[in-house]
Amino acid sequence: MKLKATAIAVLTALPLLSVQAFANAPSAQDLEKKVFGSLFGEAYFTDIRKGQSAAWDNVDDGWGVGVELGYRFNETWGIRAEYARQSLDSLTQNSRVTGDRFGLDAMYHLANTNVYLVGGWKHFEHNVAFDALNIGVGYRYFVNESVALFAEGNRFRGISNGNWNDASIKLGASWIFGATPAAAPTPAPQPEPAPAPAPVVVDSDGDGVPDSQDRCPNTPAAHKVDAQGCTIYTEKMDRVGDVDIEVRFAFDSAVVSPEGRTEVNQLAAFMKRFPEAVVFIEGHASNIGSADYNMRLSERRAKAIADLLVAQGIETSRITSKGFGVTQPRVQGNTREAHRANQRIEAKVTATVKEPVLR
């Protein structure tokens, strides 16, 4: 049958949720002999064979809304009646196929958990009338002692008009009606404990904070510490390095070569290791052509490096780029070696530096 991945995932996960938020739930004894009512919405998944049959109006998956009314006999067993109004897609008609579903379920509640099992009979009134048996599993999350949210998955097996198989996922809310559980008995007063002996204050590292409160033992004697015995630091932004990125560009191009991308990736990895670091990208050009042209070209190339850092996940707020054209040559002269040295990208990285406060 056509069980969606969503349905399978929910049905698999329901038993695993039993421990979560169980402390918010009333006990099974609190829920005994109580009536509950529920409202729900559902996703309904039909057997693929129904979509291929004109007798079923070629119905496909759909949705529904409904109500439940039930009663909890004891800590384990309960019963409920259900009504749902369904609306299903049709693979051959422009209009939807609508109908009603009535049913009766027995409910078995697993001990020490909010998971429950259901099994019962359902009657469908669509274009044709048909019956089915169903089994399912559900989980309740109690908002308080009287209100619970629930998720439930069911599988339906046809017992009339063919041996078809459908499934559904229900999400809804339940209200539990009945008297508030009796308050727990007040425990007998306990005798007053004997006074504890005066504690012995021990300060092993001599920082002025007792060992019982010292979260940072063995701090250096020259360091000033806080109330928890940990060194107090000052933070300031300081230059941690200037990086030459060996990036070569084609003539009149700001496209970074694959070799240049490797250099940029290494810079991005460094900045990810130090998320407080910021970088200033400088573009420099060789003294060939006009100064204005080289200034614009160096700006484009610096921005290309900045864009690659952003693509690697570095925030734009941590990146500044600027072109300097030929105004800051590394090597003076008009030789090939000077042009090669001056056509460069420099990255100036600044990060937060922590320094201990001394006594």
More confident: 155 or 2: 155
CA distance 118 to 138: 8
CA distance 181 to 309: 62
More confident: 289 or 140: 140
CA distance 344 to 331: 11
Q: Which are the contacts of 84, defined by CB distance < 8 A and separation ≥ 6?
A: 40, 42, 64, 65, 66, 100, 101
| Mean pLDDT of the 137-142 span | 94
Integer-rounded Cα Rg, in Å, for the chain is 36
Distances (CA, A) of 214 to 23, 28, 46, 208: 34, 45, 64, 9
Which residue's entry shows tokens 């693929």? 48
User: Taking Cα atoms as reference points, which of 80, 111, 85 lies closest to residue 99?
Assistant: 85
CB 345 within 8 Å of CB 308: no
Compute the mean pLDDT over every residue in the chain, rounded to the nearest whole number: 84
CA distance 264 to 283: 14
Lowest-pLDDT range, 28-42, 99-113, 279-293? 279-293
Q: Which domains does the chain have, with CATH numbers?
A: 5-177 (2.40.160.20), 235-356 (3.30.1330.60)
User: Is pLDDT above 50 for 224?
Assistant: yes
Name the packing angle between helices 258-273 and 291-311 (round to 10°). Answer: 60
Residue 198's pLDDT is 72
Structure tokens at 340: 């090669």
pLDDT (tens digit per residue) in 63-79: 999 999 999 999 899 99
Q: Which are the contacts of 89, defined by CB distance < 8 A and separation ≥ 6?
A: 59, 60, 61, 62, 96, 97
User: Is pLDDT above 80 for 304?
Assistant: yes
Structure tokens at 245: 């990125």
pLDDT (tens digit per residue) in 264-294: 888 898 888 888 889 999 988 888 888 899 8
